[in-house]
């Protein structure tokens, strides 16, 4: 079953067209990595999928339910908020609340928004902290954590809401190589558990290792998509070949 379906998505900012008729489907348990040069529309596509940006044309469905109808017709604010429960989003700059402890950063939304049992959420939060390898940091504040630790808190916070899928927008771009390896390990463990994920990344080796499917975008369109061994190791399109050659892949 498809978790996400985006059909004929168009998005522009003023006279600049950023997404030109994009169609993307993500199946349950699938890991899709989106690669491509800066300015190709990758992050905008994620922002449209998560309703942070409104599309100009097209339709978006989650779990078979149409949220944005043909012609970019959006539902009520309440219905849109309900649709947001389908996914979690992890940003490249963490977006943690600086005045909340790690425990509160992760547990606040499940308790306040989802109205779940406080003790149950705290117990689950501790399990998530263990899962991402920072179980000793529940009382720390974001300013006391390294970039890699903050990113792991952000991942745990997204998982705490029990989403159907997770989006990652360049999850390692703000981190140094050693810390990047830690985050990639966490993402690999989620992939092994069949968590549905869409990852915008410049880490080509990681995309090759963890993805079921790789999508190469350039100029606001999907140029090529398929298995990592096809798109990364044996690309057919000249633009894909040129992009990967620049990265010395």
Q: Between the CA of residue 88 and those of 35, 139, 143, 220, 225, what are the distances in Å?
A: 20, 23, 23, 24, 24
Q: Determine contact, residues 67/61, Cβ cutoff 8 Å.
A: yes
Q: Determine contact, residues 164/89, Cβ cutoff 8 Å.
A: no
Torsion of CA 142, 148, 154, 158, to 10 degrees: -160
Residue 59 neighbours by CB distance under 10 Å: 19
**Residue 244: what pLDDT?**
92
In the chain, helix, strand, coil percent, each to 5?
A: 40, 25, 35
Q: What is the pLDDT of residues 174-208, one digit of tens each?
A: 677 777 888 888 899 999 999 999 999 988 988 99
**Residue 249: what pLDDT?**
57
Q: Give the mean pLDDT of 6-26.
A: 96
DSSP assignment letter at 69: B
DSSP assignment letter at 248: T
**Residue 248: what pLDDT?**
64
Q: Is the pLDDT of residue 53 over 80?
A: yes
């Amino acid at each position: 079953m498809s978790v996400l379906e985006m059909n004929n998505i168009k998005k522009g900012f003023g006279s600049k067209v950023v997404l030109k008729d994009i169609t993307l489907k993500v199946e349950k348990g699938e890991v899709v990595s989106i690669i491509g040069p800066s300015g190709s529309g990758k992050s905008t596509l994620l922002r449209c999928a998560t309703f942070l940006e409104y599309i100009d044309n097209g339709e978006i469905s989650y779990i078979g339910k149409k949220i944005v109808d043909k012609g970019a017709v959006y539902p009520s604010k309440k219905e849109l908020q309900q649709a947001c429960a389908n996914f979690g989003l992890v940003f490249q700059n963490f977006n943690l609340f600086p005045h909340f402890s790690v425990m509160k950063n992760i547990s606040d939304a499940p308790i306040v928004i989802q109205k779940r049992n406080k003790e149950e959420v705290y117990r689950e939060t501790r399990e998530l902290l263990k899962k991402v390898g920072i179980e000793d940091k529940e009382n720390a504040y974001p300013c006391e954590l390294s970039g890699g630790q903050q990113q792991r808190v952000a991942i745990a916070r997204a998982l705490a809401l029990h989403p159907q899928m997770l989006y990652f927008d360049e999850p390692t771009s703000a981190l140094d190589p050693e810390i990047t390896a830690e985050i990639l390990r966490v993402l690999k463990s989620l992939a092994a558990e069949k968590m549905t994920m869409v990852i915008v990344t410049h880490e080509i080796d990681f995309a090759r290792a963890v993805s079921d499917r790789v999508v190469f975008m350039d100029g606001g369109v999907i140029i090529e998509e398929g298995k990592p061994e096809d798109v990364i190791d044996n690309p057919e399109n000249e633009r894909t070949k040129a992009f990967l050659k620049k990265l010395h892949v």
